[in-house]
Amino acid sequence: MSAQGGRYDNLTEYYTERKFQGVGISIGLTRLFAQLKEMGLIEETRDSISKVLVIPMNEMASGFALKIAKNLRENGVNTDMYSNFSKDMKAKLKYADKLNIPYVIIIGEDEIKENCVMLKNMNQKTQEKVGLKEVLEKIK
């Protein structure tokens, strides 16, 4: 494992008019974990701890999506929310797939009106509309 540290006086001058003294330290955690995986001392299971990625289709759906994400978190489900509206759905699903997130919840205008979500199982490549009370049952 490598570690570095030192004084970084006047480093803030690059970003602000004020001068600050500074010290810092960095340890190579990514290198450490890579070596531990290589030696078989730890097992890599997923690239993300999230079990669910909530995707609001637009800004209007964000409030509803936040409530869903909050409810999942309160019930012990690690949940992330994708809030970049400039990306298309294919890119958003690719993101979930890349991080090996097993479930995606998609929320658009129809889901808000019907008080439900579109639940996509990324492993089985299936999706279904699910009532809010059923979501926890489906993903646990």
Tell me: do 69 and 128 sit in the same domain: yes
- Rounded to the nearest 10°, the torsion over CA 29, 4, 6, 18 is -40
pTM of the model: 0.68
- Rounded CA-CA distance 14/95 in Å is 34
DSSP string, 66-105: HHHHHHHHHTT--EEE---TTS-HHHHHHHHHHTT-SEEE
Is 45 a domain residue? no
Tell me: do 31 and 56 sit in the same domain: no
Count up the domains in the chain and report the number: 2
Per the structure, the complete domain to which residue 26 belongs is given by 3-38
Is 113 a domain residue? yes
Please give the average per-residue pLDDT across 73-94, as a whole number.
Answer: 93
Average pLDDT, the chain: 87
Under the banding of pLDDT at 50, 70 and 90, the label for residue 15 is: confident
Is 47 a domain residue? no
Question: Given this model, what pLDDT does residue 47 score?
Answer: 65
Tell me: do 103 and 56 sit in the same domain: yes
Is residue 1 pLDDT above 60, yes or no? no
Q: Report pLDDT digits (tens) over 27-75.
A: 777 777 778 878 888 776 656 789 999 999 999 999 999 999 999 999 9
Is 94 a domain residue? yes
The two three-digit tokens of residue 48, written as one number:
């993300």
Tell me: do 10 and 63 sit in the same domain: no
Is 43 a domain residue? no
Tell me: do 87 and 23 sit in the same domain: no
- To 5 degrees, how large is the angle CA 18–CA 7–CA 26? 110
Under the banding of pLDDT at 50, 70 and 90, the label for residue 12 is: confident
Please give the average per-residue pLDDT across 80-106, as a whole number.
Answer: 93
Please give the average per-residue pLDDT across 121-128, as a whole number.
Answer: 95
On whether the CB atoms of residues 78 and 52 are closer than 8 A, the answer is: yes
Question: Given this model, what pLDDT does residue 37 score?
Answer: 79
Please give the average per-residue pLDDT across 96-110, as a whole number.
Answer: 95
Question: Given this model, what pLDDT does residue 45 score?
Answer: 63
